[in-house]
Amino acid sequence: MNKIGYKDRIRIGFEKIDADLAYLMGAFREVLEQTGDAGIAAQLPYVGGKPVKAGHTLTPRGVQAFSISFQLLNTVEENAAVQTRRLYEASNGIGAEPGLWGSSLARLKKEGKSARDILASLPVLRVEPVLTAHPTEAKRLTVLEQHRALYLLLVKRENAMWTPAEREDMHEETKAALERLWRTGEIQLVKPTVARERDALAYYFLNIFPIALRALDLRLIHAWEKSGLKEGALADPAQLPRIRFATWVGGDRDGHPFVTPQVTAETLAILRDNALTLLGNQLSHLERLLSLAESIQKPPALLRRRMRALTSLLGDAAPQILATSEGEPWKQFVSLIAARLPTEQSPAYARYDGAHELAADLRVLRASLIEIGAQRIAAQEVDPVLRCCEVFGFHLAALDIRQNSAVHDRAIGEILKASGESDAAFGTWSEEKRVAFLEEELKSSAPRLRRAEQAGPDAANAVGALRVVARELAVNGSAAIGTFVLSMTRSVSDLLAVYFLAREAGLVNDSRDGPVCSIPVAPLLETLDDLERGEAIVDGFLASPMTARSLKLHHKNDRDHARKGIEPAASRARTDGADRPMQTVMLGYSDSNKDCGIIASQWALNRAQVGIHRAAEVHGVRIRFFHGRGGTIGRGAGPTHRFLEALPANALGLDFRATEQGETIAQKYANLITAENELELLAAGTLTYSLLRTKPLPRTNELAAIVDQLADTSTAAYRSLLHAEGFLEFHRAATPIDAIEASQIGSRPSRRTGAKSLADLRAIPWVFGWSQSRFFLPGWYGAGTALEQLEADDPKAFELVADHVRSRPFLRYLITNIETSHASVDVDIIRRYAAMVPKPALRRRFMKLIEGELARTERMLCRLLGAERDERRPRLAKTLESRNEALRPLHYTQVELLQKWRAHLTAGKGREAAKLLPDLLATVNAIAGGLKLTG
């Protein structure tokens, strides 16, 4: 096959999008015509529908038709990306695609990394996506399932083997799927419960990730062999990267009144049940495959010895198990170990204590097959089960616990009051007094109260959740518990307060050196001020004796797990010399952007990582940064491999943990091939940038000083807008934020406490509102002013930025994302939303500022980057072209419905407003689908 160039690849992708979209939209039009909706069919975009006139609105069913049309566009774009990537690799080799295993290994080899260097790094490489259910997925689970089915039909159609009759059958299948969508309501009429969100995520843990994991491993093995590195080096699963999964659903109680201690306990139990179901199914499948006859090959001694031990252990249950596969010892062995899974069906006296024991038996099985020369069977059949056992264990995914520091202040105040303290207003104490009090308290492991939950509601919730953690640790060990994440960490005392509450819950125990806490505690640094003080906060926290003792305990436990085989790769020497206690620090991309704008937010996050790493080095601790990324640029989103590349040196350390939120979960992981690609980007990128970028820039770097200036200027411009008198009034009128707050797209409220303030509004609906109205303000505002002032004050500095914008990963990532957000703004549409602002003077004042900054940003980006944007970024141009015109009638309709809905509410006509709300929310859903984002 001839090699395909980049431009040819782009062309082929665009042609495929157009052809597949025409096919699906043609099928959809047929469905509408056959169901008696020919009028709506005539309006459809992408199939020659009538041009939409300015201001034209859609009926509710018309809105749904447009919504489905956008979902079909998203589906064909995803499939085109997959197919062109595969075509590009088939023609140009496995190393052609940037960011994946092939190109990463080739780059490492070119940069002088030996096979030995890379082999030493792979087993300690850790990647952990953390799935959350923030209220950002507008589509119902039922609708998502229909879109998955359509995607699979589109992929099925790729095969050239089908006969004309079979293709007609597939066409009818496609139309049936489209008709189901057309006859299904798209929006959430009832607010989903935590249980429903938990069930939705189970689909990924059970049906996607186990299969994607195997594909990821095979891709690495193929890339390794093609790269000409040491042959056969990755034959053992213990040499592969550690992929782990975690979730916040059922553990995140920050402003979420429905995540009670009982919900957390139920979540842990359900995760465990699902993990055992997954392993049980895999063992059943393995049992059917291993029908090797004893008459053909003699079972090795190690297999016979272990079978005797298992038979003895299972006692009376063993004969019946063995009798089902007489003469097939390998099959019998799998039956015996399957009988030891800790389920209700297994004998209690024989159950495995943990997944490490099952993994040890699977390794015996593997070794026995290799001993008889059946290496291929071991690799193809046993290794995937062993890998799943090590990745998912008996817990499936680790559950993080999250709470807000303000809740803890109130909880401790309640405990102090109940224990007789005269000054119980803990939240009002000075930092010095708080730290001194907590350090003194934490010299003892004895709780203040026997039943802290009786002290008050906040104490009951905070301590009750930690009691659930304590029970889980006591009964099932630490695998199911992730990290305690403290939202809005402002000080060292906020973190020490977690230890105090953990003590009340029985999570603090005595050690030889003093009390230790059994659960890892991580700060979440969210605002600009908190990020700027991040180094000092982490330094103070690590200096606490309680922290030092607890980290030492956790590190010892990790090493003990390695020796037991729970984490088989963890005991290997780290190539970066970081075999040290590990502290997690979470970084908030959403609230920092909301607080200070995109340039200052991104730069503060970068500098915070550098400073926190520096503080950790002093204490002999390594840092795992936990990136709280959302689904939009205003909340930290961007191309995965570019994001990893843009992180500062030493920020990765072969360890990457990040949230996957809301609609990004379905976009990245709903379809298997896309999920495989995303995990490969994460793992390969983490390896590459951990090994290649280990030297931080000098603190006095000239370019860093210029970015400091840009950050300061952009922050001033951004905050002058946000804090201007009347801006919140403008925001509420010119965006559908009130409709978003009334939507049913997540179990968690959109505000932390319910106060109608910018500070209380979560970053997700903040960004969602600006996106729906096409302002995209959080992703670009302030950038134009900052660049313009830099050029005016220091032309040489501006030229330096222009010279480095493509060569410095951080600058490239920042400016590219700003340009994407800016390009997504539709001036005609934002004017229509702004027209809803009832006060003309207020409207004119803020629109003058916004439109002025919009023009300024466009002008300065052109000066900085040169060339036309469409020429530099053809994919972005195609994406915008495919959407803008078709989105307009949805925006017109939303504006009209918003005006009517608000008028009803103002007039006190609640019943009429309630009747209108579903139609309004349908436009929210449709626009989110068209933009491929919510919050």
222 labelled catalytic: no
pLDDT over 60 at 699, yes or no? no
Per-residue pLDDT tens over the stretch 506-519 = 999 999 999 999 99
CA distance 590 to 526: 7
The per-residue pLDDT of the chain, averaged, comes to 91
CA distance 728 to 733: 9
∠ CA(251), CA(485), CA(196), 5° rounding?
A: 20
Closest CA to 94 of 233, 204, 219: 219
Closest CA to 280 of 334, 199, 241, 322: 334
**Range 608-634 burial, b when 16+ CB lie within 10 A, else e:** bbbbbbbbbeebebbbbbbbbbbbbbb
Sequence letter at residue 487: S
Q: Write down the pTM of the prediction.
A: 0.93
The mean per-residue pLDDT over the stretch 199-222 comes to 94
Strands 508-510 and 515-517: antiparallel
Strands 622-628 and 655-660: parallel
pLDDT of residue 742: 84
CA distance 726 to 738: 17
Q: Which tokens sit at 660?
A: 């996957």
CA distance 82 to 646: 25
CA distance 78 to 155: 10
Sequence letter at residue 813: Y
Cβ atoms of 491 and 524 within 8 Å: the answer is no
- Give the chain's largest Cα–Cα span: 92
CA distance 49 to 626: 47
pLDDT over 80 at 565, yes or no? no
840-865 and 827-834 are packed helices; what angle lies between their axes, rounded to 10 degrees? Answer: 160
Strands 655-660 and 126-131: parallel
Of these residues, 139, 594, 731, 891, which one is catalytic?
594
CA distance 14 to 874: 10
CA distance 352 to 477: 13
pLDDT over 90 at 461, yes or no? yes
pLDDT of residue 569: 37
pLDDT over 50 at 568, yes or no? no
Per-residue pLDDT tens over the stretch 119-139 = 999 999 999 999 997 545 555
Look at 517-521, 577-581, 825-829, 899-903 and tell me which has the smallest mean pLDDT: 577-581
Per-residue pLDDT tens over the stretch 49-96 = 666 666 788 999 999 999 999 999 999 999 999 999 999 999 999 989
Q: What are phi and psi of 4, to 5 degrees?
A: -105, 130
147 labelled catalytic: no
Q: What are phi and psi of 883, to 5 degrees?
A: -115, -40
827-834 and 874-906 are packed helices; what angle lies between their axes, rounded to 10 degrees? Answer: 10
Look at 66-70, 582-586, 662-666, 791-795 and tell me which has the smallest mean pLDDT: 662-666
Integer-rounded Cα Rg, in Å, for the chain is: 29
pLDDT of residue 188: 57
Cβ atoms of 247 and 397 within 8 Å: the answer is yes
Q: Quick one: which H or E segment has residue 797?
A: helix 795-804
Number of C-beta neighbours around residue 133 at 10 A: 25
Per-residue pLDDT tens over the stretch 277-323 = 999 999 999 999 999 999 999 999 999 999 999 999 999 999 999 99
Counting other chains too, the contacts that 195-201 makes at CB distance below 8 Å and 24 or more residues apart are 195/266, 196/141, 196/747, 197/133, 197/249, 197/746, 197/747, 198/133, 198/249, 198/250, 198/267, 198/270, 199/141, 200/133, 200/141, 201/131, 201/133, 201/247, 201/249, 201/665
pLDDT of residue 571: 35
126 DSSP β-pair partners = 242, 655
Sequence letter at residue 538: V
Is the C-alpha dihedral spanning 567, 573, 579, 584 positive or negative? negative
Of these residues, 134, 356, 395, 668, which one is catalytic?
134
Q: Which tokens sit at 924?
A: 């929210």
Number of C-beta neighbours around residue 53 at 10 A: 9
Cβ atoms of 894 and 772 within 8 Å: the answer is yes
CA distance 567 to 242: 9
Per-residue pLDDT tens over the stretch 727-777 = 999 999 999 999 988 876 555 454 445 555 566 566 678 888 999 999 999
Looking at 372-456, list the stretches that DSSP marks H as alpha helix, in order from N- to C-terminal side: 375-377, 383-392, 405-418, 431-441
Closest CA to 470 of 260, 268, 198: 268
